[in-house]
Amino acid sequence: MISMPKSTINVISDWFFPMMCKSCGESLDAGDLACTDCLNNLSQTHYGNWVESISCSDGIDEVYSCWFFDDELQQIIHLLKYSDYARIGTQLGKRMAETISIENSGSIDLMIPIPLHTIKIRKRGYNQADFIAKGISKVWNLPVTADAVHRSKFTESQTQLNRDERIQNLTGAIEVRKNVTGKTCILVDDVLTTGSTMSSTALALKNNGAKKVIAFTCATPRPVSAS
């Protein structure tokens, strides 16, 4: 039996079933992968800038996370990262840009997706943060500068690591490849937990002359005290 790459299977699936939401199976508009109802059901954080509440904030001036990482969004993020439906990231990015109001967003010079190491890109086929940033770009009319930073050190998944282990895991992992002197940069990623990845990247940018770094993510885990 001939096995086909996952991306090929998804292309065939979209050809025969192009109008079905990948999350709930309901019909949707052409070109989308998740329906309006699924996106509307995501739980907004209503946090505003919550940089003072994250565990790792070194180098970061502002933090914005659009939704809580509840079951509904976890399913969509899983499709984005592990089921080869990269375009769903563009939908999320557009909705993020329409939902979150960032102070002085017009002063942003560079929008930078958090980079993946080349090993992970080869395995996944793409960087999900690139597609989220592309969605934001469509609303804010701000170009994506995906090559501004590079993941020069391969790191294993940080899911099971504590705060200090995450920081150690990322030491020396980020290399800045663009001139960021005096620039205001916004870093884009899917989920923020401790903030260690954002902080590591922000510090690299600040050490290379960046004036301000803003972190912007789709989601963050819901605090125990949140209802």
The answer, yes or no, to whether residue 208 has pLDDT greater than 60, is: yes
What b/e sequence results for 116-136 when a residue is b if at least 16 CB atoms lie within 10 Å of its CB, and e otherwise? bbeeeeeeeeebbbbbbbbbb
- Residue 208 maps to a domain: yes
The pTM score is 0.84
The answer, yes or no, to whether residue 17 has pLDDT greater than 60, is: no
Q: Count up the domains in the chain and report the number.
A: 1
- Residue 51 maps to a domain: yes
Which DSSP state fits 15? H
- Residue 16 maps to a domain: no
pLDDT in tens, 72-100: 999 999 999 888 889 999 999 999 999 99
At 1 the pLDDT is 44
Under 8 Å CB-to-CB from 146, ≥6 apart: which residues? 112, 113, 115, 127, 130, 133
Q: Choose between 18 and 191: higher pLDDT.
A: 191
- Residue 5 maps to a domain: no
- Residue 134 maps to a domain: yes
Look up tokens 């039996």; give the residue. 1
At 129 the pLDDT is 97
Share of the chain above pLDDT 70, in %: 79
pLDDT in tens, 137-180: 999 999 999 999 998 765 655 555 555 665 565 666 789 999 99
Report the CATH number at residue 198.
3.40.50
Domain boundaries, position 135: 44-220
- Residue 227 maps to a domain: no
Look up tokens 């939902």; give the residue. 99
pLDDT in tens, 29-44: 666 788 888 999 999 9
At 226 the pLDDT is 46
Share of the chain above pLDDT 90, in %: 58
Under 8 Å CB-to-CB from 210, ≥6 apart: which residues? 180, 181, 182, 183, 184, 185, 202
Q: What is the end-to-end Cα distance of the chain in Å, rounded?
A: 50
SS3 127: coil
Query: Which residues are bridge partners to 67 per DSSP?
Result: 44, 219
